[in-house]
Amino acid sequence: MIRTLKVRLYPNRYMMKVLNKLCDYRRYCWNEGLATWIDMYDLHTIDSTNPRPNVYSVRNELVTNKADWQYQLSARTLQLAISDLGKAWQNFFDKTQLDWGKPRFKSKKAVRQGFKTDRAKIVNGKLCLDKPHGIKTWYDIRINKHEDLSGELKVVSVYRENGKYWASLPFEMAPKSKLLTNQNTAVDVNVGHLNYTGGLINTLPNHLIRLYQRIKLYQKQLAHKRVINGKKANKSNNYIAVRAKLQRDYRKVTNIQHDLIQKFTTKLVTDFDKIVIEDLNIKKMQMSHVASKGLQQSLFGYFRQVLSYKCEWYGKEIVLADKYYPSTQRCSKCGHIKKGSDKITLRGNAKHHTRHNEYICYDCGAVLDRDTNAVANLLSLI
């Protein structure tokens, strides 16, 4: 089982240069590899005695033509760039992977630049990259997390974004189970809050709302600055400055949301054995008119992803409700399902003048909180 930790890196000035060089080198290898791949393919279609491009032939081509300066950089960068390129082509030709486009050339101007290595190690809580031959000065890189960094380290990706450095550290680890509690729960996902049997988790604290507003402002400013006097202006200093601020705030939003979800999912897998959740894609569609929906929706996806892998790690079970299960319309007391104009929407029910947080059953007369009712309905699935 793989467990990935994302850590901030604090390289010294020397290692910062090394990391930058490796980012550039990865991009160089990818782009050279892609150009070679396309050339070889063209030659092959003209005359089929020429070899078909694949990971090995392209890599051999690049290795034979290595320039002197390339020997001062980790050889693994080239190997991994070409093997990823091979995967990208494979995904492109795989018809079941609809979202995959053709591999593209990488730009120097892209916000995120990075490289991969399978020779990295953790030594005394620091990240130690492989030192190329003939290089004398070398330092380990300080990282911000000191929690559990044990296990076998897999392919590490290092990347730079807005002048900051990060690494994804995937560790191979043995699954460990949490104690069984004989308690079950269900989670109802809503914009701004998650409901479960233990109450409510606010996913929209005030500082997050302020960030959403600021992001909206920057997006608007960027749209205005993109064109000046009818000309493209996305290289102007103003544009770049606002874009950097926007990225900073996106990063802050992600950090806050991830923190909330990490804590909540840990609580769920510690306190409960089975957890019912609904099909979140349906939920997303229902919320198409909600403000900052993109940022809230990314939270749903992340919630499900984190909960699934934590359940797997700790030997707990996740139960997915059928996407047609009427968790909002069903009465948890008598099982009556609201239909037609009786249905409740995000704004309540217009015919019966109920508020958005009310569930009133016209069959058994139960008056319930809308979200508590949904949680109870999901829970009855176990």
Among 224, 363, 369, 382, binds Zn ion (CB under 5 A): 363
Alpha helices in 235-330 (DSSP H): 237-271, 280-286, 293-314
Minimum distance from CB of 327 to Zn ion (Å)?
14
Query: 198-257: which residues touch Zn ion (CB under 5 A)?
Result: none
**In 3-state terms, the chain is what percent helix, strand and coil (to 5)?**
45, 20, 35
- Taking the complex as a whole, how short is the minimal distance between the CB of residue 348 and Zn ion, in angstroms? 17
Alpha-carbon gap, residue 37 to 154, rounded angstroms: 27
Question: Of the two residues 187 and 331, which places its CB atom closer to Zn ion in the complex?
Answer: 331
278 touches 321 (CB < 8 A) = yes
Between residue 275 and residue 334, which ones bind Zn ion under the rule CB under 5 A? 331, 333-334
All residues at 6 or more sequence positions from 53 whose CB lies less than 8 Å from its CB, including other chains: 36, 37, 40, 41, 44
- Residue whose CB is less far from Zn ion, 23 or 361: 361
Q: Which is nearer to Zn ion, 26 or 338 (CB)?
A: 338
Supply the minimum distance, in Å, between the C-beta of residue 162 and Zn ion: 54
* Min dist. Cβ of residue 187 to Zn ion (A): 22
CB of 332 to Zn ion, least distance (A): 8
Looking at the Cβ atoms of 59 and 330, the one nearer to Zn ion is: 330
| Closest approach of Zn ion to the CB of residue 151, in Å | 51
How far is CA 85 from each of CA 74, 78, 102, 243, rounded to the nearest angstrom?
Answer: 18, 11, 10, 29
Residue 99, φ and ψ in degrees, nearest 5: -75, -15
Return the number of the residue (334 or 382) whose C-beta is nearest Zn ion: 334
Q: Nearest approach, Cβ of 337 to Zn ion (angstroms)?
A: 10
The secondary structure of 187-227 as a DSSP string is: EEEETTEEEETTEEEES--HHHHHHHHHHHHHHHHHHHHTE
Least gap, CB of 321 to Zn ion (angstroms): 19
Q: How far apart are CA 320 and CA 281, in angstroms?
A: 12
Any idea what the Cα angle at residue 223 is, between residues 217 and 229, rounded to 5°? 130
The minimum distance between CB 335 and Zn ion, in angstroms, equals 7
Q: Which of 59-67, 308-316, 361-369, 371-379 is the region at the interface with Zn ion (rule: CB under 5 A)?
A: 361-369
Q: Is the Cβ of residue 173 or residue 366 nearer to Zn ion in the bound state? A: 366
Q: Which is nearer to Zn ion, 71 or 362 (CB)?
A: 362
Nearer to Zn ion, 32 or 371 (CB): 371
According to the binding rule CB under 5 A, does residue 374 interact with Zn ion? no
Does position 361 interact with Zn ion (CB under 5 A)? The reply is: yes
Q: Which of positions 91-150 make contact with Zn ion (CB under 5 A)?
A: none
Find where tokens 């486009």 sit.
101
- What mask of x and - would describe binding to Zn ion in positions 331 to 360, judged by CB under 5 A? x-xx-x------------------------
Beta carbon nearer to Zn ion, 200 or 366 = 366
Give the separation between CA 83 and CA 330, rounded to whole angstroms: 51
User: Total residues contacting Zn ion (rule CB under 5 A)?
Assistant: 8
134: left (phi over 0), alpha (psi -120 to 50) or beta: left
Among 1, 346, 364, 382, binds Zn ion (CB under 5 A): 364
**Buried (b) or exposed (e) across 304-324, using 16+ Cβ within 10 A?**
bebbebbbebbebebeebeee
List, in order, residues 6 or more apart from 377 with CB less than 8 Å away. 186, 325, 326, 327, 328, 330, 332
Cα(76)–Cα(25) distance, rounded to whole angstroms? 11
Residues of this chain that bind Zn ion (CB under 5 A): 331, 333-334, 336, 361, 363-364, 366
